[in-house]
Amino acid sequence: MSNAATPSPGEPFGTVFSSGGIMGRAIRLIDVDNVASVVLAAVATEANLVELVTSAANSHPKLVAECPRLAVLAQCLSEQPGANAGAVFRFQLARLALSGTPFDQGTEPFQGLDTLVRLRNRLVHPIPEPANGEGFIRDASDARIVAYLKTRDLVRDDPQMGRVSRYSMTGLVDSPTVSRWACRKASEVVQALVASIPRSNFRTKHEFLLRHPWIEDLPADVR
């Protein structure tokens, strides 16, 4: 299925949406390459936000008049410093621009988003992990990742080693349980952000775009 949106008035060539393709690959890699699936789920989530902002910035004036918060979203995240802010902050800024309130940092989906982004950063910017039995947790960010995954029973301590932190981060998340969580959380985050858009044709358009693969293509045990 094509990821190209139907052109809106004033958008002769439409907007090409690639985040769906990335998310589809993340889903297909569950049980095949779990680490890659986790990374791609995080990348797809961020790509979806970029597409949302780009679509808002290029929307026809009639759509903006119907949903004035689109102009706020575009201004906040298309210009400095919002354009270069961290991924989690950009999501908070987008939620604030669209609904008037940011995500609650003490609940889902914010906590899952924060963990997914931290995990992606840790996997693609690895820290040397000495094989001396001291464990791989190097800072507070690592500790937060492991605590989140453990409290939700996504990873467990190895009874022979006594604690989860003796694994490498890559080894820790190389499981279908974690890759399923990553894809589910990516879907939850983008759905929550789109749901914060005021009722409008713009929101209807983006709700339609989420059907595949963000919602209906998720395996039944991931939804």
Angstrom distance (rounded) from CA 135 to CA 157: 12
Angstrom distance (rounded) from CA 214 to CA 44: 10
* Contact between 123 and 170 (Cβ < 8 Å): yes
Buried b (16+ CB within 10 A) or exposed e, 55-65: bbbbbeeebbe
What ranges do the domains of the chain cover? 16-223
Phi, psi of 90 (to 5 degrees): -65, -40
Q: How far is CA 179 from CA 48, 114, 188, 213, in A?
A: 19, 16, 14, 16
Residue 4: what pLDDT?
Answer: 42
Angstrom distance (rounded) from CA 137 to CA 210: 36
Residue 7: what pLDDT?
Answer: 38
Give me 155's structure tokens.
């990873």
**What residue ranges of the chain have pLDDT lower than 70?**
1-17, 79-85, 128-135, 158-167
Angle at 42 between CA 74 and CA 158, to 5 degrees: 150
Specify the residue for token string 């102009």. Answer: 71
If you write DSSP's letter for every residue of 57-82 in order, what string do you get?
A: HT--HHHHHH-THHHHHHHHHHSTTG
Residue 24: what pLDDT?
Answer: 96
Residue 223: what pLDDT?
Answer: 74
Residue 4: strand pairing partners:
16
Helix 110-124 vs helix 176-195: crossing angle, to nearest 10: 130
Total-model pTM: 0.86
Angstrom distance (rounded) from CA 36 to CA 64: 38
Residue 162: what pLDDT?
Answer: 55
**54-93 pLDDT, tens digit each:** 999 999 999 999 999 999 999 889 865 555 568 999 999 9
